[in-house]
Amino acid sequence: MSIIEPFISDLDESQQEIVRLAREFAQKEIAPYAADWDREKRYPEAVMRQLAELGFFGMRVPEAFGGLGLDTLTYLLVLEELATADAATSITLSVHNSLPVSMLTAHGSDAQKQRWLPAMAKGEVLAAFSLSEAGAGSDAAAVRALAVRDGDQWVLSGEKAWVTNGDRANLLVMLLRTDSPESRLGHRGMTMFLVPSDTPGVVSGKPEDKMGLRSSGTTTVALHDVRLSGEHVLGKEGEGFRYALQALDLGRMGVAAQAIGIARASLEHAVRYGAERQQFGKPIKDFQAIRFKLADMVSRISASRALLSETARAVENGMRVTERASMAKLFATESAMWVTNQAVQVYGGYGYMRDYPVERLFRDAKVTEIYEGTSEVQRIVIARGLYPK
């Protein structure tokens, strides 16, 4: 086994099997096409259907609702395998499983679980998580989109920004303000809603033209007096902000896994290229400057994975992992940015060309330091944990 890959021999047979299946599928059906999907900004519809058939849309859906019910570590290792082939594919499934699936499982009523989870496990329903707005990113409490009661209905209005899967999701799990301008309740003035995307008045915008993850659709979602019954409130009124923060622990771990996959792919390319590329009459891998770069790259990737695995173990032991999840995301994503930058350097001028894979990996890595909380926000969360109240 290569020292670049995760060590999985201590996992049980079924865990190993699923990680191997993900690796095999990702390397055969995804990796060879990822550059084309990126160039053409094309969502890989057929491959997503195959991933659904393999059960990957239901990785975190409990078995009782038709999902795989994977433990945290196995789930993250699958996301790493997918991201090693294509970061955009990985984030589609990471958002769907880490956020909507987790929130429905934790806070949904029996009827809501029955309605959504089996279809989400089969991939018949793709879900998105929608918190951010043009004026509310890091400051999530600044959300302005509203839900106002009208008899036994709710009327939703406003505009959400940067919704991953926003162009094709069937279900939007959305954080909306439910307090009134006269009595603002801060974090407690927000409620999570289950918004079917075919409800009249829900309009998703054109996909953003992004630096990376170009085959994953990121859109605005406008709400024009959308009417929903009370059955669409997830959990309790006023608890939405808390639910979002809870789910973001796993969301951030998913982004860390994605970052590790991106970094691993760029290292694999750099190692191969180092052996092929000749300068001064020998392969560039024989220069100590290149060897040391590669050694630092693999070390940072392994350290990221070790931190993430420890956090996954803590989750399985029922621990609260907010700061650890932030540490894993911070370290893995900044490492991915550093590692992909080194990979471009190993490739020299070719690394700057779209024809070579490390250029895409460098672009894909950047967003991992931004979404589901920027690196600055992760540092705020971690430092807060050092001074508990």
Ligand X SMILES: Cc1cc2nc3c(=O)[nH]c(=O)nc-3n(C[C@H](O)[C@H](O)[C@H](O)COP(=O)(O)OP(=O)(O)OC[C@H]3O[C@@H](n4cnc5c(N)ncnc54)[C@H](O)[C@@H]3O)c2cc1C
Q: Which residues bind ligand X (CB under 6 A)?
A: 95, 128-132, 137-138, 162-164, 210, 213, 218, 367, 370-374, 376-377
- The number of CA neighbours under 13 Å toward the Cβ of 363 is 20
Distances (CA, A) of 87 to 92, 170, 365: 9, 22, 8
Measured from the CB atom, is 153 or 246 closer to ligand X? 246
C-alpha to C-alpha distance for 89 and 78, rounded to whole angstroms: 11
Three-point CA angle 8, 264, 278, nearest 5°: 125
- The full 3-state SS of 14-44, as one line of letters, equals HHHHHHHHHHHHHHHHHHHHHHHHHHHCCCC
CB of 356 to ligand X, least distance (A): 23
CB of 111 to ligand X, least distance (A): 26
Distances (CA, A) of 21 to 1, 10, 12: 16, 17, 14
Distances (CA, A) of 95 to 57, 89, 358: 10, 10, 24
Is 53 marked active-site? no
- Coil, strand or helix: which one is 311? helix
Closest-CA residue to 251 (of 361, 119, 339, 131): 131
CB of 207 to ligand X, least distance (A): 10
CB of 347 to ligand X, least distance (A): 25
Measured from the CB atom, is 323 or 372 closer to ligand X? 372
Active-site position among 237, 334, 359, 372:
372
Measured from the CB atom, is 116 or 356 closer to ligand X? 116
CB of 374 to ligand X, least distance (A): 3
Q: Would you please indicate which residues are annotated as catalytic (active-site) residues?
A: 372
